[in-house]
Amino acid sequence: IQTTFLMVKPDGVKRQLVGEIVDRFERKGFELKGAKLIQITEELAKKHYAEHAERPFFGELVEFITSGPVFAMVWEGENVISVARLMMGATNPAESAPGTIRGDFSTTLSHNVIHGSDSLASAEREIGLFFNENELV
Ligand code: GTP
Ligand code: MG
């Protein structure tokens, strides 16, 4: 059984997609272990996206993810890391299939509604960045 870190980005929260997104993972059969609405600080944003620090869009990425509250979540289930990525769809909404979250709810790469950990190591790292042990059941 795996756990992963998922986050509705500021665009998704503003567009009131939190309920729809939680619903999809619940109906799939995954189990919610923790969740909170938070305003990410610049410091946390830079840690979270450290792997992209050298990319030309890093500044934009940090600015966007700190532009409003996000809904941070920890989900548990069989193969939840890769299955959640499938349910999210391709990073670029121009390529994400209809039926996926990005495919159904977004049109732009920089505002693609949801984040999900891409590996066991990043799931562990990101859960540790966003949640204390006592915030998870
Ligand atoms: P996340 O779940 O958000 O990490 O997306 P991902 O794992 O599918 O993609 P990746 O980690 O490679 O990129 C992180 C985020 O950076 C993406 O979700 C995009 O929103 C954003 N991003 C990627 N490429 C670009 C770009 O060229 N310009 C801008 N502005 N944003 C980008
Ligand atoms: Mg990523």
Interface predicted TM-score (ipTM) of this complex, two decimals: 0.92
C-alpha–C-alpha distance, residues 87 and 137, integer Å: 24
Residue 16 CB-density burial (10 A; 0-12 exposed, 13-18 middle, 19+ buried): exposed
As a whole number, mean pLDDT of residues 38-47 equals: 98
pLDDT by residue (tens digit) across 3-37?
999 999 999 999 999 999 999 999 999 999 999 99
Environment of ion ligand 2 (residues, CB < 5 A) = 118
What pTM was estimated for this model as a whole?
Answer: 0.96
Q: Ligand 1 centre from 111 Cα, in Å?
A: 9
As a whole number, mean pLDDT of residues 101-114 equals: 96
As a whole number, mean pLDDT of residues 111-127 equals: 98
60 Cβ inside 6 Å of ligand 1: yes
Sequence-distant (≥ 6) Cβ neighbours of residue 117 within 8 angstroms:
4, 5, 6, 81, 84, 123, 126, 127
Q: What is the pLDDT of residue 1?
A: 95
> Alpha helices of the chain — where are they, by DSSP H?
10-14, 18-28, 42-48, 58-65, 80-88, 101-105, 120-130
Q: What is the pLDDT of residue 19?
A: 98
End-to-end CA distance of the chain: 15
Mean pLDDT of the chain: 97
Residue of 91, 63, 74, 86 lying closest to 127 (CA atoms): 74
Answer yes or no: 115 catalytic.
yes
Q: What is the pLDDT of residue 137?
A: 96
Q: Ligand 2 centre from 122 Cα, in Å?
A: 9
Q: Ligand 1 centre from 1 Cα, in Å?
A: 27
pLDDT by residue (tens digit) across 46-75?
999 999 999 999 999 999 999 999 999 999
115 Cβ inside 6 Å of ligand 1: yes
Joined together, the tokens standing for residue 66 give: 């700190």
